[in-house]
């Protein structure tokens, strides 16, 4: 875990462009050095029926997403104010080569809102897979920006320091069933620098189960997730330090927290390359988050309706 | 059946683009005095290789009366010809067919008596996502 934490620190110092450069450099070295390995692996796969499945070959998929999303915020009194706040336009990229991959979870509404994963397949078996994943686990927020966008005053956020995003490097274990998948990420996570220039690190355990019901041309995904956040991470986002105390915010030392999610996601083909997608996600945060002065609601319902174009 | 649509006899003899040429050995002289349509003409599925579902409306009109049968053929599978429906002697017909296939299917009108091919058209299956070796990951993620 210490090694993972150190890796997260290094990755954290890189911007998105540099991270992509690193990934493609790694892909280049994998290409340059494994030409024999590729043949060898294929032979192994043919000769031993119980041997591991060959890692992903070169595959790519680019999708353009346009959707309307209602996303209630966990922060007190923060709302979607303008029409544009409901509109999401994004490009989703899936690419893999020799076990390296960059993927967007296009079967979950959270990805439509934006979250990709960079990873490497450590082991690929018939029923399970072990991956090394790098992803953003928690989005940050800038109180000044929020206050500027909102139509009403939010005293709880005035003068509050910015909270950066949290990235993590994780081991992901996935178990495959006939029409479902369960995965669990054990992540060493690191927040952005705080006002004092310090990073906060902690553990995140993120699990999700997704069950696919194909009904005629529809795909219906039923999902349930449970995520654990270390105390230090919850305190970074929802704690109130002594120098942040105000009339609207009491000193608050946050404890570790859980997030539970229930989700329904549907997809329907409209035309060649076009599909309709919609989702409903119900999120529950544990009371340790609700007790923060920055939060007044720990049950959030997210709705998404959109179209996806596949290039 | 098909009583609410009036098509002039002149229209009936116009070449209809939905009629495609048939194999030479099957019927070298395809009659041109027939209109034959399948709607919709395309079924879209989410992923290549997956069954596509649709309800097809199949219509035909002909200048001369004849007893015809509707056949369904999957050219990817040998001997997969199925007779779906037969109309008594007449000059028009309409029926609904449940389509369920991952492959393109050909629909043919053949005479009841000698099974001579009169017209044919194809129902095309297309998809949103290409088939991939990363089935499990991209199916669920």
Range of the domain at B107: 35-128
Quickly state the pLDDT bin for B94 (edges 50, 70, 90).
Answer: very high
User: Which pLDDT belongs to residue B72?
Assistant: 93
- Phi/psi for A66 (5° steps) reads -130, 120
Tokens of A151: 């139509």
Residue A107 to residue B130, Cβ atoms within 8 A: no
CATH classification of the domain holding A155: 2.40.160.40
Range of the domain at A189: 2-310
Q: Are B122 and B108 in contact (CB under 8 A)?
A: no
Q: How many domains does chain A have?
A: 1
Give the residue, A98 or A54, on which the prediction is more confident: A98
Q: Are B82 and B108 in contact (CB under 8 A)?
A: no
Indicate the Cα dihedral angle A87, A224, A190, A197, nearest 10°.
Answer: 50
- Tell whether A177 is within 8 A of chain B (Cβ): no
Min Cα separation B29/chain A (Å):
34
- Tell whether B76 is within 8 A of chain A (Cβ): no
User: Which pLDDT belongs to residue A146?
Assistant: 86
Q: How far is CA A25 from the centre of its chain?
A: 23
The 10 Å CB-count burial string (b at 16+, else e) for A35-54 is: eeeeeebeeeeeeeeeeebb
Using CB atoms within 10 A of its CB, is residue A2 exposed (0-12), middle (13-18) or buried (19+)?
exposed
Decide if B141 is inside a domain. no
User: Which residues make Cβ contacts (< 8 Å) with residue A5, sequence separation at least 6?
Assistant: A188, A190, A201
3-state secondary structure of B99: strand
Tokens of A62: 């680019």
User: Which residues make Cβ contacts (< 8 Å) with residue A31, sequence separation at least 6?
Assistant: A97, A98
Q: Are A105 and A111 in contact (CB under 8 A)?
A: yes
Instruction: Tally Cβ neighbours within 10 Å of residue B12.
Output: 16
Quickly state the pLDDT bin for A23 (edges 50, 70, 90).
Answer: very low
Decide if B43 is inside a domain. yes
Contact residues on chain B for A59, CB-CB shorter than 8 A: 132-134, 138
Is a pLDDT exceeding 60 seen at residue A152? yes
Decide if B2 is inside a domain. no
Element containing residue B122 per DSSP (H, E): strand B117-129
- Tell whether A56 is within 8 A of chain B (Cβ): yes
- Tell whether B42 is within 8 A of chain A (Cβ): yes
Q: Which of B44, B46, B126 sits opposite A219 (nearest CB)?
A: B46
Q: For a pLDDT cut of 90, what percent of chain B falls above it?
A: 38
Decide if B10 is inside a domain. no
Q: How far is CA A115 from the centre of its chain?
A: 5
Decide if B14 is inside a domain. no
What's A5's DSSP letter?
A: H
Residue B133 to residue A59, Cβ atoms within 8 A: yes
Pairwise CA distance, residues A147 & A156, whole Å: 10
Decide if B68 is inside a domain. yes
Asked which of A35-44, A57-66, A162-171 is least confident by mean pLDDT, the reply is: A35-44
Decide if B21 is inside a domain. no
User: Which pLDDT belongs to residue B14?
Assistant: 37
Beta strands (DSSP E) in chain A are 59-70, 87-97, 100-104, 116-124, 128-138, 166-176, 180-191, 201-215, 218-229, 257-271, 274-285, 299-310
B-contacting residues in A 266-305 (Cβ below 8 Å): 267-275
Angle, vertex CA A165, rays to CA A130 and CA A66, nearest 5: 80
pLDDT digits (tens, 9 = 90+) for B52-87: 999 999 999 988 889 999 999 988 877 688 899 999
Decide if B78 is inside a domain. yes
Tally C-beta pairs within 8 A across A and B. 62
Is a pLDDT exceeding 80 seen at residue B132? no
Give the residue, B116 or A11, on which the prediction is more confident: B116
User: Which pLDDT belongs to residue A40?
Assistant: 35
CATH classification of the domain holding B123: 2.60.40.10
Is a pLDDT exceeding 80 seen at residue B32? no
Contact residues on chain A for B101, CB-CB shorter than 8 A: none
- Tell whether B126 is within 8 A of chain A (Cβ): yes
Q: How many domains does chain B have?
A: 1
- Tell whether B98 is within 8 A of chain A (Cβ): no
């Amino acid at each position: 875990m210490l090694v993972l934490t150190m890796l997260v620190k290094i990755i954290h110092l890189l911007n998105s462009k540099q991270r992509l450069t690193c990934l493609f450099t790694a892909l280049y070295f994998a290409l340059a050095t494994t030409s024999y390995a590729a043949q060898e692996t294929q032979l192994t796969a043919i000769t031993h029926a119980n041997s591991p499945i060959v890692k992903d070959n070169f595959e790519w998929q680019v999708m353009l997403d346009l959707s309307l999303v209602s996303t209630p915020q966990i922060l007190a009194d923060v709302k979607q104010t303008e029409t544009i706040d409901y509109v999401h336009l994004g490009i989703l990229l899936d690419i893999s080569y020799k076990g390296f991959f960059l993927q967007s979870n296009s079967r979950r509404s959270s990805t439509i809102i934006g979250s990709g994963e960079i990873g490497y397949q450590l082991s690929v078996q018939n029923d399970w897979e072990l991956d090394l994943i790098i992803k953003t686990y928690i989005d940050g927020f800038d109180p000044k920006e929020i206050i500027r966008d909102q139509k009403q005053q939010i005293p709880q956020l005035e003068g509050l320091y910015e909270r950066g995003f949290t990235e993590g490097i994780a081991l992901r274990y996935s178990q495959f069933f006939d029409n479902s998948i369960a995965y669990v990420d054990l992540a060493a996570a690191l927040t952005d620098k705080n006002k004092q220039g310090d990073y906060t690190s902690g553990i995140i355990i993120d699990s999700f189960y997704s069950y696919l019901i194909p009904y005629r041309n529809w795909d219906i995904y039923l999902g349930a997730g449970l995520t654990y956040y270390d105390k230090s991470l919850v305190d970074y986002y929802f704690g109130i330090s002594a120098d942040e105390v105000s009339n609207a915010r009491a000193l608050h030392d946050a404890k570790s927290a859980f997030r539970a999610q229930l989700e329904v996601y549907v997809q329907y083909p409209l035309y060649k390359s076009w599909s309709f997608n919609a989702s409903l996600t119900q999120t529950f945060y544990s009371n340790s988050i609700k007790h923060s002065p920055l939060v007044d609601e720990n049950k959030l319902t997210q709705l998404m309706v959109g179209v996806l174009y596949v290039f | 059946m098909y009583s609410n649509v009036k098509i002039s006899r002149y229209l009936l003899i116009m070449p209809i683009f939905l009629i495609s040429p048939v194999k030479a050995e099957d019927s070298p002289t395809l009659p041109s005095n027939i209109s034959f349509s399948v709607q919709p003409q395309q079924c879209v599925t989410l992923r290549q290789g997956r069954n596509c579902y649709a309800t097809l409306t199949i219509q035909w009109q002909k200048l001369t009366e004849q007893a015809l049968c509707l056949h369904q053929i999957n050219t990817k599978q040998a001997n997969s010809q199925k007779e779906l429906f037969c109309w008594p002697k007449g000059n028009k017909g309409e029926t609904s067919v449940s389509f369920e296939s991952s492959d393109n299917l050909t629909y043919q009108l053949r005479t009841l008596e000698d099974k001579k091919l009169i017209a044919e058209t194809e129902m095309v299956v297309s998809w949103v996502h290409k088939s991939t070796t990363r089935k499990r990951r991209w199916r669920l993620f």
